[in-house]
Amino acid sequence: MIPAEAQQPKTVNVGPVILLGAPGAGKGTQAKAIAARYGIPQVSTGDLLRDNVLRGSELGRAAQAYMDRGELVPDALVFDMLRARLGNVDCNRGFILDGFPRNQAQAEWLDKLLRDRFFSEACWVAPIVLSFTVEYNGLLQRLTGRRSCPACGRIYNIHTQPPKVAGVCDVDGAKLVMRQDDTEDVISERLKVYEEMSLPLRQYYARQGRLVEVDGNRPQAEVTALAWHALDEHARSGEPHIC
């Protein structure tokens, strides 16, 4: 649920917003709240890839060829899709990146894109990186407790957001299901891999003074308030700019 304060977007130059956090840390929920409050788009590389493939663009056709062979889409193609998307007018005051960058090489590419004055008609506040931290047991509870309705797609959590009747969807009465990869063993391995991959990235942004740690263990509304406060302060500081 998006807080009422977000109903009227704040017309400030918030610049690029990068969200980091382990699976289950709540990045998706917070991205929606940030997008609503500041009137900036949430840009997902997964959505970009699907859109290009669906439209049959040149980049989409090239990406489809890799996927048909069971191969990963190269960073170069993803970069081209991002470069085109971030040049759209709706990104002029900022945008939210959730799921990108995933490593230091991608972060360096993004920095270069901005340093090269790709956004020549806008004056940019440098990117801010919000890292949502949730303790391990909390992540396990969130992820192992997830249940979804196969009919309408609604998501529940048996610990924090249970259905009115156990195991049954509130909307259509369908039997809720648990994803195969939401077992404790699978999740533990995913969290371990995430920590190993994300540590160098967090260190990279911390060295540049861009990293803001947000306590994701708090109630959702409090986490949103912390994120908004960090972004408001960042926008007010106006330093450094890319113009």
The catalytic residue among 10, 32, 102, 154 is 102
Would you call 175 a catalytic residue per the annotation? Answer: no
Alpha-carbon 140 to chain mean position: 19
Euclidean distance between CA atoms 131 and 25, whole angstroms: 9
Would you call 146 a catalytic residue per the annotation? Answer: yes
Q: E-assigned strands of the chain?
A: 15-21, 42-43, 94-98, 124-125, 128-133, 146-148, 155-157, 211-215, 241-242
The catalytic residue among 55, 61, 112, 179 is 179
33: left (phi over 0), alpha (psi -120 to 50) or beta: alpha
Radius of gyration of the chain (CA): 19
Residue in the structure block whose two tokens are 């940019």? 124
The catalytic residue among 10, 32, 190, 202 is 190
Strand partners, 211: 129
Q: What number of other Cβ atoms are within 10 A of residue 73's Cβ?
A: 19
Would you call 218 a catalytic residue per the annotation? Answer: no
Both tokens of 166, joined, read 């156990």
DSSP state of 72: P
The size of the chain, in residues, is 243
Q: E-assigned strands of 51-123?
A: 94-98
Contacts for 6 with CB less than 8 Å, ≥ 6 apart: 33, 36, 37
Catalytic residue ranges: 27, 102, 146, 179, 190
